[in-house]
């Protein structure tokens, strides 16, 4: 029996601060009719322009995936999109009153929670499914990056990361059934190395960041003066480095939480194909640029 499209039963809102812009605002998910797809509406802009969540509207993958049409942008969409795919939601209109999706805790958890609160409604139309018939591959050999998809009976994922550091080396994550997304993938938070965080802070590039929405890996010696400075920046009584090489701001939910988060990002970025996928996706060292280039390749091969 063919699987049918889904939307939500009622509107629901989430409020928070954008990671990079520092803007505080709200997003509101609204039910949408069959074959509507996922669309964002910037209600803080004149005439309330609508931006479709499709791969052709990606204009940047710098520190997150950004959509843009006619100069109107929406930053950091990947965690929200992953939550919709994780719950099997096809049709929704998302009002947003700022330029960036709230970062929340750096995962998809709060979006999942809100959408489940709204309730999920099955519709009459059949889901649009991209059935993979042959292996498709995207590779950047010099960076050891590769993403492939092969025919399979359902959508599944395998992800490998390797930052070649003592504190974060090779990790693996898998998702064999999308029904497990909520518990196994959605809670997994974004991560950053301390030296990257310092660069971003010094260049005013994480205006909405705080020490509670990212795992911070430390792969160098850190002076007490530096730790004291970080504690002031993040309004914490103290900041220290744990034995496993992460700051003491949060505890890991899973030993391989970084790999699981990269899998989350991959799901979010592939949502921009605008339809469900049937195939097994395997990614080595994925990132937003890689994910979206792979989605463009699939779009050109199967949908254009």
Provide the annotated active-site residues. Answer: 288
Cβ count near 192 (within 10 Å): 18
Q: How would you classify the pairing of strands 4-8 and 120-126? A: antiparallel
Name every residue whose Cβ is closer than 8 Å to that of residue 215 and which is 6 or more positions away in sequence: 106, 189, 190, 191, 192, 246, 250, 252, 257, 258
Please give the distance of CA 108 from its chain centroid, rounded to a whole number.
Answer: 7
CA max distance for the chain: 63
Q: Is the dihedral of CA 162, 159, 264, 45 positive or negative?
A: positive
Both structure tokens of 242: 């744990």
Rg (CA), the chain: 19
Q: Is 258 helix (H, G, I), strand (E, B) or coil?
A: helix
Q: Which alpha helices (H) appear in 192-280, and where do they start and end? A: 194-202, 224-233, 257-270
Burial 262-287 (b: 16+ CB within 10 A, else e): bbbbbbbbbbbbbebbbbbbbbbbbb
């Amino acid at each position: 029996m063919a699987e049918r499209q889904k939307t939500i039963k009622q509107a629901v809102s989430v409020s928070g601060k954008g990671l990079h812009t520092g803007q505080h605002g709200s997003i509101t998910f609204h039910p949408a009719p069959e074959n509507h797809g996922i669309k964002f509406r910037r209600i803080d802009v004149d005439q309330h322009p609508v931006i479709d969540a499709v791969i052709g509207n990606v204009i940047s993958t710098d520190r997150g995936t950004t959509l843009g049409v006619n100069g109107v942008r929406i930053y950091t969409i990947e965690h929200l999109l992953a939550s919709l795919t994780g719950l099997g939601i096809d049709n929704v209109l998302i009002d947003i009153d700022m330029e960036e999706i709230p970062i929340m805790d750096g995962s998809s958890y709060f979006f999942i929670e809100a959408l489940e609160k709204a309730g999920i409604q099955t519709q009459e139309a059949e889901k649009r499914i991209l059935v993979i018939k042959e292996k498709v591959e995207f590779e950047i050999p010099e960076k050891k990056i590769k993403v492939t998809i092969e025919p399979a009976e359902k959508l599944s994922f395998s992800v490998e990361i390797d930052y070649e550091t003592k504190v974060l080396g090779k990790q693996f994550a898998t998702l064999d059934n999308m029904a497990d997304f909520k518990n196994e993938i959605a809670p997994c938070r974004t991560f950053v190395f301390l030296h990257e965080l310092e660069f971003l802070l010094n260049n005013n590039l994480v205006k909405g960041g705080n020490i509670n929405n990212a795992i911070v890996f430390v792969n160098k010696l850190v002076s007490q003066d530096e730790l004291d400075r970080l504690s002031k920046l993040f309004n914490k009584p103290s900041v220290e480095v744990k034995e496993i090489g992460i700051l003491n701001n949060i505890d890991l939910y899973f030993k391989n939480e970084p790999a699981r988060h990269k899998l989350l990002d991959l799901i979010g970025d592939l949502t921009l194909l605008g339809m469900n996928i049937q195939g097994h996706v395997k990614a080595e060292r994925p990132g937003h640029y890689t994910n979206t280039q792979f989605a463009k390749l699939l779009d050109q091969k199967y949908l254009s």
